[in-house]
Structure 1
Amino acid sequence: MRTLLPGEWIDGDVIVAAYYAYYLELIITMYADYKNMKEAEKDVTSPRCWFLPTYYSQAALADWSSLNFAQAAGFRDRYMGRLDTCEKIYVPINCDGHWYMLLVDISHATATIWDSLESPSRREKMINESLAILASLDFVLRQEARALFGNRFSFLNFQIYRQAGLPQQPNGFDCGYYVMKYMDSPCIVVHDSYQHDLDHARLLLALYLVQSPLNKIRRRLIQEARKL
């Protein structure tokens, strides 16, 4: 939770301690779980978005070909609903210690890279990582996708773009927060009038995480806070 203090990293591969990386990734995954929970409240036939956890991209980028069908089904059952109602898939990705988002838009057959700290040195790697994610979606969803869209359908045929006009983070440690903001309100982030107080937003996010029903130590944290 201290990673949400102003000036601290919200990232998965930074600083020195292994547990630090684990908890930072957990924050993003918790928020993905929360967004999926809200999507599940919609009518069963309503258009939906899928929010994948950080370890999905880690598995895909490590060696997707080694993933067995049981593991693939685990991702499918927990984080993916009916493909016929899915409009977009949000995939957080870590590139050399920097978080960015790949937004897969099924209705437009596009995959867009949302990056709050653009760097020419990372562009090619991000493209290759995006292709690996699309290949993983083909692996997990091939049977259902081809039943819906035909045998020639492939996520690898989607056009890959970079989202233009994104506000750039003013430092090297806020990429994790921006990824969660992309999950929350991407259309607002790209608006010309968008201004954001990151320190204030971090405090609000910390409050959400403490109070979230997905937080397994929620009750203990609230009890400790009451003692202060």
Structure 2
Amino acid sequence: MVINYGMTSKKALECYGAKFLARAHTCRKVCLPMKDAMDGDAVHWYLAVIMLDDKQVHLLDSYPSKKRQRSRRNAVVTMIEFLDGLFEDLYRQVEPTLDPPVLEKFSLTIPSIPEQRHESDSGVWVCSWMMGASWDSSYNIWPCGDIRRMQLALYLVQQPTNYIRHVVIEEANRN
């Protein structure tokens, strides 16, 4: 999103720093949902997970495509380059005595993960990986289906940061 709007790392820090980045220097993992706009209206989601302690970037794609592999890797590399500048600016402001991680030196790996049968489930897989990323680095998720979609929807609706949470709950109680 930030890169699509042509933001510099300094501008991103200015806009989002107070809300999202105040404790970024204590992060161990950073999840980057990535969107691949394909032919026509098709959209595919995949995930890059930056493992700061391990100095690795994991590229997770539940529906890999040989045709799109290079462009997806390049998009992750572009995001890493952007984040390098962001981390450098952030550390300068928040923790000037610490050196920021140099993400461009991290190895980009593609772990062996389950693959989905239908391309249309990629967003559900990305959400599942992100929800489990804090405690699990194996990226094994259960198969997608209506039950999993409903679990994700309920989880997202119930989050305190969902600003229309009360509306959804009121509607559910009415029905």
TM-score by length of 1: 0.63
Of 118, 122, 146, the residue aligned with 1:175 is 122
For structure 1, the 5+ residue unaligned runs are 1-57
Structure 1 residues 84 and 178: alpha-carbon distance in aligned structure 2, compared to 1, 3 A threshold: same
Q: Which structure dedicates a bigger proportion of its chain to helix? A: 1
2:64 is matched with which residue? 118
Aligned to 1:107: 53
Residue equivalent to 2:40: none
Q: Structure 2: 5+ residue runs without aligned partners? A: 38-42
Residue 59 to residue 84, structure 1, CA distance change in 2 (3 Å): closer
Equivalences, count: 164
Partner of 1:157: 105
Distance in 1, matches of 2:165 and 2:148, equals 20
- Provide the TM-score with structure 2 as the length reference: 0.80
Preserved contact between residue 115 and residue 163 of structure 1 (Cα < 8 Å) = no
Letter in 2 for 1:226: N
> Are 2:164 and 1:214 equivalent residues in the alignment?
no
User: CA offsets, 1:146-189, max 9 Å, x none?
Assistant: 84237xx521111111122x111121211111111111224376
Distance 1:121 1:154, change over 3 A: same
Q: How far did 1:123 drift?
A: 1.1
Q: Describe the SS at the equivalent of 1:183.
A: helix
- What is the root-mean-square deviation in Å for CA atoms of aligned residues? 2.4
Question: Is structure 2 residue 79 aligned with structure 1 residue 133?
Answer: yes
